[in-house]
Amino acid sequence: MHPLTHLQRLEAESIHIFREVVAECENPVMLYSIGKDSSVMLHLAVKAFYPAPLPFRLLHVDTTWKFREMISFRDQLAKQLGLDLIVHINQEGVAQGVGPFTHGSAVHTDIMKTQSLRQALNHYGFDAAFGGARRDEEKSRAKERIISFRSAAHRWDPKRQRPELWSCYNTRINKGESLRVFPLSNWTELDIWQYIHQQNIPIVPLYLAAKRPVVRRNGTLIMVDDERMPLEPGETPEMLNVRFRTLGCYPLTGAVESNAATLPEVIQEMLLARNSEREGRVIDHDSSGSMEKKKQEGYF
């Protein structure tokens, strides 16, 4: 009698979640963020429905400030796998010229990400959205359900969470309400990397170290990804060997100096490193409990 490995059990659980939601919901969508967690999520979804094609569309909420390499990776993958990918941009935000440099990270994230996501979910009438969040990322996520209920206003009420028992999920909603579904809830960052390595899942090259132009701001290394980045007086980009632990809007994503140019080296560095993954994200530093607040407002 062979016990299943931890990755086999995690994979089976995620597949179970995908199938349950697709069987019970009318119009599900996968939020595809191009990052490593999304890559794993997409890989698992393909497995869940094989040999049938993916029974739902993918949605990328593009803030227009993503790394250029992310966008080209996205478009190439969509073409290669024949994905039905929707790219949504908050055009009102674009018209108002909203961006992280002019409006600050909080306003930019709210308008180009949170509001934009709501716009898209409302526009297409999606009743369930798969997201790649994991419980090990942050304290308030540790308590979120796998199937997370949202009111018609997309709000998360920690007090009205439905109990989740066994692998029996309640996906029922009334009109206008929706679900956020997190198939990777029980995966850790290490599990994700191990699985990418084991399954040979393609990821954006930004995760691997290379010489890239960066500037140092408030102790964070920001990559100068395009000409929209205003340089402060006396600031010149330097070419450093860096990689990224998470990917988002380039002005809001800190790089780490590294020589890990292969996946095993990245995992090696991570295991030896002493800083948690979300540290590179600028938005979490606003205030204690900031993620919880954002989630109540509809952030993923």
Partner 1 sequence: MSHSSDLIGSDILGYLRAHEHKSLLRFITCGSVDDGKSTLIGRLLYESKLVYEDQLAALEADSKKVGTQGDNLDFALLVDGLAAEREQGITIDVAYRFFSTERRKFIVADTPGHEQYTRNMVTGASTADLAVILLDARKGVLTQTRRHSYIVSLLGIRHVVVAVNKMDMVEWSQERFDQIVAEYHTFAAQIGLHGITCIPMSALCGENITSHSAVMPWYTGPSLMEHLETVVVEQDNQAKPFRLPVQWVNRPNQDFRGFAGMIASGRIAPGDRVRALPSGHEAILSRIVTHDGDLPHAVAGQSVTLTLDREIDVSRGDVLVAAAQPASVADQFQATLIWMHEQPLLPGRPYLLKVGARTVTATLSAPRHKINVNTLEQLPARQLELNEIGVCNLNLDRSIAFDPYADNRETGGFILIDRLSNDTVGAGLLQFALRRADNIHWQALDVNKRSRSTLKHQRACVLWFTGLSGSGKSTIANLVEKRLHANGRHTYLLDGDNVRHGLNKDLGFTDADRVENIRRVAEVSRLMVDAGLLTLVSFISPFRAERQLARDLLGDGEFFEVFIDTPLAEAERRDPKGLYRKARAGELKHFTGIDSPYEAPENPEIRIDTTELSAELAAERIISMLHDKGVFDSDDDSALAAL
Residues that bind partner 1 (CB under 8 A): 1-13, 15-16, 19-20, 22-23, 46-53, 135-136, 139-140, 142-143, 158, 160-168, 170, 172-174, 177, 185-186, 188, 190-191, 194, 197-198, 264-265, 267-268, 271-276, 279, 288-289, 292
Residue 199: DSSP 8-state: H
CB 18 within 8 A of CB 183: yes
Who's near 142: CB < 8 A, 6+ residues apart?
135, 136
Which CB, 108 or 135, lies closer to partner 1?
135
Which CB, 158 or 235, lies closer to partner 1?
158
Who's near 152: CB < 8 A, 6+ residues apart?
176, 177
Which CB, 200 or 236, lies closer to partner 1?
200
Name the region of 161 (left: φ>0; alpha: ψ -120 to 50; beta: rest). beta
Q: Can you tell me whether residue 59 is helix, strand or coil?
A: strand
Structure tokens at 103: 């409006």
Work out how close the CB of 268 gets to partner 1 at its nearest, in angstroms, rounded to a whole number. 4
Which CB, 104 or 158, lies closer to partner 1?
158
Which CB, 41 or 111, lies closer to partner 1?
41
Work out how close the CB of 271 gets to partner 1 at its nearest, in angstroms, rounded to a whole number. 5
Residue 127, Cβ neighbours under 10 Å: how many? 20
Q: First CA to last CA across the chain, in angstroms?
A: 40
Burial 96-108 (b: 16+ CB within 10 A, else e): eebbbeebebeeb
**CA–CA gap between residue 35 and residue 39 (Å, rounded):** 6
Work out how close the CB of 5 gets to partner 1 at its nearest, in angstroms, rounded to a whole number. 6
Work out how close the CB of 24 gets to partner 1 at its nearest, in angstroms, rounded to a whole number. 8
Work out how close the CB of 98 gets to partner 1 at its nearest, in angstroms, rounded to a whole number. 28
Which CB, 27 or 268, lies closer to partner 1?
268
Work out how close the CB of 13 gets to partner 1 at its nearest, in angstroms, rounded to a whole number. 8
CB 194 within 8 A of CB 267: yes
Give the angle 253-271-267 at the CA atoms, nearest 5°: 70
Work out how close the CB of 139 gets to partner 1 at its nearest, in angstroms, rounded to a whole number. 5
Which CB, 67 or 195, lies closer to partner 1?
195
